[in-house]
Amino acid sequence: MKLTKTLFLGSAAGLMAVSGAFAADLPVKAKAVEYVKICSLYGAGFYYIPGTDTCIKLGGYLRADAVLGANSDFSPNQSGVAGARNRLMNYYTFRAREDLNIDTRTATEYGVVRTFFDGVFTWTTGNYSGSGSATGGTVYSGTLGLNTSGATPALVGSSINGTDGNTSAGSLGVYYAFIQFAGFTMGKAVSQFDAPWTNYPGNITDNLVGGSGTVTGVTQFTYTADFGQGVTAAFSAEDATQYYQAGNLNMTGATAGGMIGGAYGTNAIGGSRSPNLVGQVRVDQAWGLFQASVAAHDNHVAYYGATEPTGHPDDKWGWAVQLALSIKNIPTGAGDTINIQGVYTDGATRYNFQNLSGSSYSLFGSSGTAYQSIGFANAPDTVFVTGSSQETVKTWGFRGAYTHNWDPYWNTAIYGAYAQAQFGTLAKTTLCGAAGTGGVFGGLAGVTGCNPDFAIGQAGIVTRWTPVKNLTFSADLTWTHLDQKYSGTVGVTPSGVTAKPTAVYELKDQDTLALILRAQRNW
C-alpha cells in the first residue's frame, strides 16, 4: 500500500511538471472568437462586419432567359441583321446572368453612411452578320469573351465564314456603385429623372419607349432633401455621355441607302461639356406615388467636317419633363398596382426613346408589289447641315401597366407604350424637300410620300409564377409597331451586312413580336 501511494504521488507530480512546461509555451490569454452578429438597424439580412460598427448585406439573383424573335435579350428585331428578318437573324437568344450586390451602412453623428455596389456576370448567345463579300460569308458580332476552354480571352468578331468556334461572349457589368451621405448620392445610381420602376411599369422586357430608364444607373452627384411625410426633392448633375445622347446628325452626309438603314446623316457629337441637370419632386404615400421630373441637356457638336477650320454650330440646350403616377392596392385585389407616366422632350430624345429601346429603326417585311417592304426611322436629339445651326427634334410619349395578383403565387400584367418623334423645317426640307417631293429621299423615283416623323406603339402581357419564395418563372410577350410616314416604293442598295440585294422595296409600316421566357432565383 505504501508503495502504491508513493508511485501515485510521483506520477501526479510528473504530470504537473509536464503541464506546467506546456502552459509556459501558450499565450497568457486566448483571444475570444468574434462571431457574426445580426444588425437589426436597417432591416432583414444585415450583419455586423466583425470588429466594426458597419453593417453589411449581400444579395443578388441568378437568371436564365430564352428570348424568341430577337437578336438580343431585351430589344425587338428593329434594325441591322435582326431587322433584316432573313437567314442571318437569330430565332432565339439565350442568356445566363448572375447578379451580386453589396450594401453597407454605418451610423455616424451626421447620419447613416451607405455604400452600394451591384455587378453582373453575363453570358449571351451571339449572332452573325453578312461580310459583304461577293462570295458570301458571315462575321461574328459580339464582344470580348472567354474561349471554349475558359482560359484565355479571345477576340470574337474577327473571324469570317463562321470559322471561330467561340459563338458566345461573356461580359462583366457594373450596374450601380455609389455612396450616400448626409443627403448626397455620389456615383452610379438610378437617374433622379426616372420613375421608381424605371423601364418596368409591370413588364420584364427592357425596351419600352415612352419614358426614361437608366436601369443600370448613371454616374451622378445628387442632393436629396427630405421634407417628411413622404415628400422629397432632388437636384442632380448626371453624366450625359453614356445614356443620354441620341445623336447630333449632320444631314449633309445623308444618303438614301443610309436612311433606309435608320441613319439620317453623320453623327457629330462632340466632347462632354456639361452634365445633364435634373430636378425631381416626389410624394410617396400609402396610396401610391406621384413624381414630377425635369432635365436640361446640352447638345455639343464637334465640327461640320473632319478638321477645325470647317467650323461648327453653337451648342443648343434641350430639355425634358416627365410626370409619373403609381396607384397601389386598388379594388381589384390586394397588391394590385397601376403605374403610368408621360414625357415630353425637345432636344433630349433619350428621356423618351430611352437607351435600351434605341431610336433607330430599319425593319424588312413582305410585300405584294415589290421585292420586299421596309420601314425605317430615326430620332436624334438635333439635326443640322454644314453651315447651319442645330434644330431640335421634339418627342412625346407615355407608358404604363396594370398588375393583378391572382393569388400569392400567380400575377399577370398588361402593359403598353407609345412615343412619337416630330422633326422641324430644316430636317423635312433637307430629307424630303419643301413639298415632300424632293431632298435626299423625297425626290427618288417611286416615292409618293416623304416625312421623317414617326411613332412607335407597343403592347404586351406578362405572367409570373412563384411556386416557392424567391423563385419566379415568367413569360412576357411584346408587340412593337413602327408607324412611319414614307409611302410608295424605292430602289436602293441596303447595307451589305443584312444580305439584302439592290432592289425595289415598298415603303410600309412594320410589326415585330418578341417573347421572353425567364427563370429567376433571388437570394
How many helices and strands in the chain, by DSSP H and E?
A: 5, 30
Burial class (CB in 10 A: 0-12, 13-18, 19+), 148: exposed
pLDDT for res 147: 32
DSSP category for residue 498: G
Q: pTM to 2 decimals?
A: 0.87
pLDDT for res 496: 79
pLDDT for res 379: 96
pLDDT for res 17: 42
What is the rounded average pLDDT for all residues in the chain? 88
Full DSSP string of 284-353: EETTEEEEEEEEEEEE-B--SSSSGGG--PPPEEEEEEEEEEEEES-TTSTT-EEEEEEEEEES-GGGTB
Lowest mean pLDDT among 164-173, 339-348, 457-466: 164-173
pLDDT for res 151: 33
pLDDT band (50, 70, 90) for residue 321: very high
195, 324 in Cβ contact below 8 A?
yes
pLDDT for res 15: 36
pLDDT band (50, 70, 90) for residue 286: very high
- Of the candidates 140, 142, 130, 138, the one whose C-alpha atom is nearest the C-alpha of residue 161 is 138
pLDDT per position as a tens digit, 77-131: 788 887 888 888 888 889 999 999 999 999 999 999 999 999 999 998 888 888 7
Residue 33 CB partners (closer than 8 Å, separation 6+):
none
Please report, rounded to a whole number, the percentage of residues in the chain having pLDDT higher than 70.
87
Residue 106 CB partners (closer than 8 Å, separation 6+):
52, 53, 54, 55, 112, 113, 114
User: What are 446's three cell numbers?
Assistant: 417611286
- Pairwise CA distance, residues 326 & 286, whole Å: 11
Question: Cell 437578336 belongs to which residue?
Answer: 71
User: What are 104's three cell numbers?
Assistant: 453597407
Length of the chain equals 523
Query: What dihedral do alpha carbons 143, 144, 147, 152 form, nearest 10°?
Result: 180
pLDDT for res 27: 55
Helix, strand, or coil here: 83?
A: helix
Query: Is beta strand 394-405 parallel, antiparallel or unpaired with respect to 337-346?
Result: antiparallel
Lowest mean pLDDT among 15-29, 213-227, 290-304: 15-29
pLDDT band (50, 70, 90) for residue 24: very low
**pLDDT over 90 (residue 488):** yes
Give the end-to-end CA distance of the chain in Å, rounded to a whole number.
71
